[in-house]
């Protein structure tokens, strides 16, 4: 059995990752691929418990380095229990956020050193790298307005400043310039145009 394909979706909040992932899943299924859709932090019962810890707002300080360690702990559990087995069975895995989110949020947003993040990435999932990353890029004000229109309460990230999200977006754009695996898509366009660009990128990079 050939290894499946691993596609990650990235971007600031409200960029449209979950919406686009659903559209992509439907298209891949119509092409008879087995698809496993998942998200980070989370994706397995224990990793989802870590997600809750890291997103909920509380009185205890969670230092940026502690946040990085929690993200990678959840990621290792997710990789071992869900992502690697799915790829080994030949599934296409669609993951809403992965290590680029740590690079952008903890690295760009919070200033954690790239050396620490890269050494953890190497230790945690050296053998599991995305085949393709779709960076849904929107101006911060667009992403935040979309997210605010839909939201109930705010979590630890959603309550961050505009300046924080500008740093996150800037790091994502730097990563896209540096890595051929990452395709930047202008996600401020109408949804149908964004979805068409995503399908085109997948067809071009990962031909059946």
Q: Sketch the per residue contact string, 176 through 195, with ligand Z5A: x for CB under 6 A, - otherwise.
A: -----------x--xx--x-
Q: How far is CA 42 from CA 2, 46, 52, 74, 93, in A?
A: 26, 8, 9, 6, 14
Q: Select from 5, 17, 125, 171 the one that contacts ligand Z5A (CB under 6 A).
A: 17
- ∠ CA 46-47-49, nearest 5°, is 65
In whole angstroms, the minimum distance from the beta carbon of 1 to ligand Z5A comes to 28
Q: Does 108 bind ligand Z5A (CB under 6 A)?
A: no
Question: Which of 143, 201, 133 has its CA nearest to residue 168?
Answer: 143
Q: How far apart are CA 99 and CA 122, in angstroms?
A: 11
Q: Does 105 bind ligand Z5A (CB under 6 A)?
A: yes
Q: Select from 62, 76, 157, 166 the one that contacts ligand Z5A (CB under 6 A).
A: 157
**Quick check: 198 and 53 in contact, CB under 8 A?**
no
Q: Does 43 bind ligand Z5A (CB under 6 A)?
A: no
Q: How far apart are CA 83 and CA 76, in angstroms?
A: 10
Q: Select from 16, 107, 108, 130 the one that contacts ligand Z5A (CB under 6 A).
A: 16
Cβ closest to ligand Z5A, residue 4 vs residue 14: 14
Q: Select from 6, 7, 24, 40 the one that contacts ligand Z5A (CB under 6 A).
A: 40
- The alpha helices in 14-139, defined as continuous H runs, are 17-30, 45-55, 64-78, 84-88, 99-101, 114-125
Question: Which of 81, 198, 175 has its CA nearest to residue 128?
Answer: 81
Q: Select from 7, 35, 78, 102 the one that contacts ligand Z5A (CB under 6 A).
A: 102
Binding site for ligand Z5A (CB under 6 A): 11, 13-19, 40-41, 71, 96-97, 101-102, 105-106, 146-147, 150, 157-158, 187, 190-191, 194
């Amino acid at each position: 059995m050939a290894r499946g394909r691993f596609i990650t979706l990235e971007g600031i909040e409200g960029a449209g990752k979950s919406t686009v992932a659903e559209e992509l899943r439907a298209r891949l299924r119509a092409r008879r691929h087995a698809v496993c859709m998942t998200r980070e932090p989370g994706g397995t019962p224990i990793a989802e418990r870590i997600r809750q810890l890291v997103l909920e707002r509380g009185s205890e300080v969670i230092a940026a380095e502690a946040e990085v360690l929690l993200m990678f702990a959840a990621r290792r559990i997710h990789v071992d229990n869900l992502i690697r087995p799915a790829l080994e069975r030949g599934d296409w895995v669609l993951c809403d956020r992965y290590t680029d989110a740590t690079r952008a949020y903890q690295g760009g947003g919070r200033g954690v050193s790239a050396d620490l993040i890269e050494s953890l990435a190497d230790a945690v999932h050296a053998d599991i790298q995305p085949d393709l990353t779709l960076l849904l890029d929107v101006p911060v004000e667009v992403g935040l307005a979309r997210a605010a229109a839909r939201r109930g309460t705010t979590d630890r990230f959603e309550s961050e400043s505009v300046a924080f999200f500008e740093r996150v977006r800037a790091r994502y754009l730097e990563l896209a310039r540096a890595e051929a695996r990452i395709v930047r898509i202008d996600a401020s366009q109408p949804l149908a145009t964004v979805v068409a660009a995503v399908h085109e990128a997948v067809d071009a990079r990962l031909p059946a």
